[in-house]
Protein backbone atom coordinates (compact mmCIF):
# COMPACT_ATOMS: atom_id res chain seq x y z
CA UNK A 1 0.00 0.00 0.00
CA UNK A 2 1.29 3.42 -0.90
CA UNK A 3 -1.08 5.38 1.26
CA UNK A 4 0.30 4.43 4.64
CA UNK A 5 0.56 7.52 6.80
CA UNK A 6 4.22 8.36 7.22
CA UNK A 7 5.56 9.26 10.64
CA UNK A 8 8.91 10.82 11.44
CA UNK A 9 10.26 9.53 14.75
CA UNK A 10 12.82 11.91 16.25
CA UNK A 11 14.55 10.15 19.10
CA UNK A 12 18.23 9.89 20.05
CA UNK A 13 17.73 6.81 22.22
CA UNK A 14 18.00 3.99 19.67
CA UNK A 15 16.15 1.53 21.90
CA UNK A 16 13.11 3.76 22.33
CA UNK A 17 13.24 4.75 18.65
CA UNK A 18 13.14 1.09 17.61
CA UNK A 19 10.37 0.36 20.08
CA UNK A 20 8.23 3.13 18.56
CA UNK A 21 9.11 2.09 15.01
CA UNK A 22 8.11 -1.53 15.66
CA UNK A 23 4.73 -0.49 17.05
CA UNK A 24 4.05 1.86 14.15
CA UNK A 25 5.14 -0.48 11.35
CA UNK A 26 3.05 -3.35 12.73
CA UNK A 27 0.06 -1.01 12.78
CA UNK A 28 0.25 0.14 9.19
CA UNK A 29 2.39 3.26 9.38
CA UNK A 30 5.52 3.91 7.40
CA UNK A 31 8.33 5.20 9.58
CA UNK A 32 11.24 7.59 9.11
CA UNK A 33 13.85 7.93 11.83
CA UNK A 34 16.02 10.83 12.92
CA UNK A 35 18.36 10.73 15.89
CA UNK A 36 18.94 14.47 16.17
CA UNK A 37 17.25 17.82 15.67
CA UNK A 38 19.15 19.00 12.59
CA UNK A 39 18.59 15.68 10.84
CA UNK A 40 14.90 15.92 11.78
CA UNK A 41 14.51 19.37 10.24
CA UNK A 42 16.16 18.19 7.00
CA UNK A 43 13.96 15.11 6.80
CA UNK A 44 10.85 17.16 7.45
CA UNK A 45 11.44 19.32 4.41
CA UNK A 46 12.62 16.50 2.15
CA UNK A 47 10.06 13.82 3.09
CA UNK A 48 7.01 15.81 4.30
CA UNK A 49 5.77 13.17 6.77
CA UNK A 50 2.19 13.39 7.99
CA UNK A 51 3.09 13.39 11.66
CA UNK A 52 6.17 13.85 13.83
CA UNK A 53 6.87 12.09 17.11
CA UNK A 54 9.41 14.25 18.86
CA UNK A 55 11.63 13.55 21.85
CA UNK A 56 12.22 16.84 23.65
CA UNK A 57 15.69 15.96 24.92
CA UNK A 58 17.96 15.75 21.87
CA UNK A 59 21.75 16.06 21.79
CA UNK A 60 22.04 18.88 19.23
CA UNK A 61 18.84 20.93 19.34
CA UNK A 62 16.27 21.29 22.07
CA UNK A 63 12.95 19.79 21.01
CA UNK A 64 11.13 23.05 21.73
CA UNK A 65 13.31 24.79 19.11
CA UNK A 66 12.19 22.23 16.55
CA UNK A 67 8.53 22.84 17.40
CA UNK A 68 9.06 26.59 17.05
CA UNK A 69 10.76 26.14 13.70
CA UNK A 70 8.19 23.72 12.27
CA UNK A 71 5.27 25.86 13.42
CA UNK A 72 6.63 28.80 11.44
CA UNK A 73 5.76 26.99 8.21
CA UNK A 74 3.65 23.89 8.94
CA UNK A 75 0.58 22.75 10.86
CA UNK A 76 1.64 19.09 10.75
CA UNK A 77 0.68 17.25 13.94
CA UNK A 78 3.51 17.01 16.48
CA UNK A 79 3.33 14.45 19.27
CA UNK A 80 5.91 15.15 21.94
CA UNK A 81 7.55 12.28 23.80
CA UNK A 82 9.04 13.40 27.06
CA UNK A 83 10.93 11.63 29.78
CA UNK A 84 11.03 14.80 31.79
CA UNK A 85 8.98 14.76 34.90
CA UNK A 86 8.52 18.51 34.92
CA UNK A 87 5.14 19.67 33.68
CA UNK A 88 6.73 22.94 32.63
CA UNK A 89 8.36 21.30 29.59
CA UNK A 90 5.14 19.68 28.46
CA UNK A 91 3.21 22.92 28.89
CA UNK A 92 5.85 24.85 26.97
CA UNK A 93 5.80 22.31 24.13
CA UNK A 94 2.01 22.42 23.93
CA UNK A 95 1.88 26.20 24.08
CA UNK A 96 4.47 26.37 21.28
CA UNK A 97 2.10 24.36 19.10
CA UNK A 98 2.74 20.68 19.79
CA UNK A 99 -0.54 18.78 19.48
CA UNK A 100 -0.14 16.41 22.37
CA UNK A 101 2.42 14.70 24.55
CA UNK A 102 3.08 11.27 25.92
CA UNK A 103 5.32 10.57 28.88
CA UNK A 104 7.90 7.79 28.94
CA UNK A 105 7.43 5.00 29.70
CA UNK A 106 4.27 4.46 27.66
CA UNK A 107 2.48 1.48 26.15
CA UNK A 108 1.67 0.83 22.51
CA UNK A 109 -2.10 1.30 22.94
CA UNK A 110 -1.60 4.77 24.40
CA UNK A 111 0.86 5.76 21.68
CA UNK A 112 -1.43 4.56 18.88
CA UNK A 113 -4.46 6.32 20.38
CA UNK A 114 -2.53 9.62 20.56
CA UNK A 115 -1.40 9.25 16.94
CA UNK A 116 -4.90 8.49 15.68
CA UNK A 117 -6.29 11.52 17.50
CA UNK A 118 -3.59 13.85 16.17
CA UNK A 119 -4.02 12.63 12.58
CA UNK A 120 -7.79 12.88 12.77
CA UNK A 121 -7.63 16.45 14.03
CA UNK A 122 -5.14 17.34 11.33
CA UNK A 123 -7.36 16.00 8.57
CA UNK A 124 -10.46 17.67 10.00
CA UNK A 125 -11.28 21.34 9.94
CA UNK A 126 -10.06 22.17 13.43
CA UNK A 127 -7.08 24.09 12.08
CA UNK A 128 -9.16 26.24 9.76
CA UNK A 129 -10.85 28.26 12.48
CA UNK A 130 -14.31 27.36 11.15
CA UNK A 131 -17.20 28.04 13.50
CA UNK A 132 -18.41 25.10 15.53
CA UNK A 133 -21.16 23.08 13.94
CA UNK A 134 -22.78 19.71 14.47
CA UNK A 135 -22.82 17.52 17.50
CA UNK A 136 -20.26 15.80 19.74
CA UNK A 137 -21.21 12.55 21.48
CA UNK A 138 -19.37 10.48 24.07
CA UNK A 139 -21.38 7.99 26.10
CA UNK A 140 -24.35 9.82 27.64
CA UNK A 141 -22.84 13.23 26.94
CA UNK A 142 -23.97 15.27 23.94
CA UNK A 143 -22.69 18.72 23.01
CA UNK A 144 -24.92 20.41 20.43
CA UNK A 145 -22.83 23.21 18.89
CA UNK A 146 -25.75 24.70 16.94
CA UNK A 147 -28.01 25.00 19.99
CA UNK A 148 -24.97 25.71 22.18
CA UNK A 149 -26.35 23.25 24.64
CA UNK A 150 -25.19 20.17 26.54
CA UNK A 151 -27.30 17.09 27.26
CA UNK A 152 -26.70 14.15 29.56
CA UNK A 153 -28.69 11.03 28.64
CA UNK A 154 -31.08 13.33 26.78
CA UNK A 155 -31.65 15.66 29.75
CA UNK A 156 -30.77 19.35 29.62
CA UNK A 157 -27.60 20.27 31.48
CA UNK A 158 -27.75 23.86 32.66
CA UNK A 159 -24.30 25.29 32.13
CA UNK A 160 -23.29 28.92 32.40
CA UNK A 161 -21.97 30.60 29.26
CA UNK A 162 -18.34 30.06 30.25
CA UNK A 163 -18.95 26.50 31.41
CA UNK A 164 -20.45 25.75 27.99
CA UNK A 165 -17.49 27.37 26.23
CA UNK A 166 -15.06 25.18 28.19
CA UNK A 167 -16.99 21.98 27.43
CA UNK A 168 -17.39 22.92 23.75
CA UNK A 169 -13.69 23.71 23.39
CA UNK A 170 -12.55 20.48 25.05
CA UNK A 171 -15.00 18.39 23.02
CA UNK A 172 -13.86 20.05 19.82
CA UNK A 173 -10.36 18.78 20.60
CA UNK A 174 -11.54 15.54 22.22
CA UNK A 175 -8.71 13.16 23.00
CA UNK A 176 -6.17 15.96 23.13
CA UNK A 177 -4.87 17.73 26.17
CA UNK A 178 -5.47 21.48 26.22
CA UNK A 179 -3.30 23.53 28.56
CA UNK A 180 -4.79 25.75 31.27
CA UNK A 181 -3.43 28.76 29.43
CA UNK A 182 -4.96 27.69 26.11
CA UNK A 183 -8.39 27.24 27.71
CA UNK A 184 -8.19 30.51 29.66
CA UNK A 185 -7.30 32.49 26.52
CA UNK A 186 -10.07 30.85 24.49
CA UNK A 187 -12.80 31.31 27.07
CA UNK A 188 -11.86 34.51 28.90
CA UNK A 189 -9.94 36.12 26.05
CA UNK A 190 -6.32 37.14 25.54
CA UNK A 191 -6.37 39.42 28.56
CA UNK A 192 -7.21 36.58 30.94
CA UNK A 193 -5.08 36.78 34.03
CA UNK A 194 -3.54 33.36 33.53
CA UNK A 195 -4.95 32.48 36.92
CA UNK A 196 -5.96 28.82 36.90
CA UNK A 197 -8.19 29.23 39.94
CA UNK A 198 -11.16 30.56 37.93
CA UNK A 199 -10.80 27.61 35.56
CA UNK A 200 -10.65 25.14 38.44
CA UNK A 201 -13.83 26.58 39.93
CA UNK A 202 -15.61 26.35 36.58
CA UNK A 203 -14.38 22.79 36.06
CA UNK A 204 -15.61 21.76 39.51
CA UNK A 205 -19.05 23.11 38.60
CA UNK A 206 -19.04 21.40 35.19
CA UNK A 207 -18.10 18.09 36.76
CA UNK A 208 -20.83 18.41 39.35
CA UNK A 209 -23.30 18.77 36.47
CA UNK A 210 -22.06 16.14 34.00
CA UNK A 211 -20.10 13.53 35.95
CA UNK A 212 -21.67 10.76 38.03
CA UNK A 213 -18.73 11.00 40.41
CA UNK A 214 -16.88 14.32 40.04
CA UNK A 215 -13.90 12.85 41.94
CA UNK A 216 -13.57 10.08 39.35
CA UNK A 217 -14.56 11.76 36.09
CA UNK A 218 -15.42 9.77 32.96
CA UNK A 219 -15.72 12.66 30.48
CA UNK A 220 -13.16 15.34 31.32
CA UNK A 221 -9.83 14.23 32.76
CA UNK A 222 -7.26 16.30 34.60
CA UNK A 223 -3.72 16.22 33.24
CA UNK A 224 -1.98 17.14 36.46
CA UNK A 225 -0.17 20.47 36.21
CA UNK A 226 -0.84 20.71 32.46
CA UNK A 227 -4.52 21.02 31.60
CA UNK A 228 -7.63 19.00 30.74
CA UNK A 229 -8.50 16.34 28.22
CA UNK A 230 -11.99 15.33 27.02
CA UNK A 231 -12.63 11.66 26.32
CA UNK A 232 -12.67 10.73 22.61
CA UNK A 233 -16.09 10.98 20.98
CA UNK A 234 -18.03 7.85 19.95
Contacts with Ca ion, residue ranges (CB under 5 A): 12, 55, 57
Rg for the chain, CA atoms, rounded: 18
Q: Is the dihedral of CA 46, 82, 88, 202 positive or negative?
A: positive
Q: How far is CA 37 from CA 45, 67, 77, 229, in A?
A: 13, 10, 17, 29
In which element (H, E) is residue 186 found?
helix 180-188
- Indicate the residue among 12 and 87 with the shorter CB distance to Ca ion: 12
In the complex with Ca ion, which residue's Cβ is closer, 44 or 159?
A: 44
**CB atoms closer than 10 angstroms to residue 170:** 27
Q: How far is the CB of 201 from Ca ion (least distance, A)?
A: 38
CB closer to Ca ion, 111 vs 168: 111
For residues 100 and 76, the answer to whether their CB atoms sit within 8 Å is no
How many angstroms separate the CA atoms of 104 and 124, rounded? 28
CB 51 within 8 A of CB 120: no
Least CB distance to Ca ion at residue 39 (A):
14
d(CA 16, CA 102): 13
Nearest approach, Cβ of 90 to Ca ion (angstroms)? 15
Question: CB–CB of 77/173 below 8 Å?
Answer: no
Minimum CB separation of residue 56 from Ca ion in Å reads 7
| Beta-strand pair 6-10/78-82 | unpaired
The least distance separating Ca ion from the CB of residue 109, rounded to whole angstroms, comes to 23
Question: Minimum Å distance from CB 33 to Ca ion?
Answer: 13
Residue nearer to Ca ion on the CB measure, 4 or 84: 84
Amino acid sequence: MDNKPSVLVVEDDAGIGSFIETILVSNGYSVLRASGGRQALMMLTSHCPELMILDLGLPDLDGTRIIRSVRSWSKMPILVVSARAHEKDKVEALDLGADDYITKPFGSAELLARIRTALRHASGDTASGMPLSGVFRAGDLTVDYNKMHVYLAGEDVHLTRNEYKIVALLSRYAGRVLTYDHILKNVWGPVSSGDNQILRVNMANIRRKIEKNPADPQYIFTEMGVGYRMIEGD
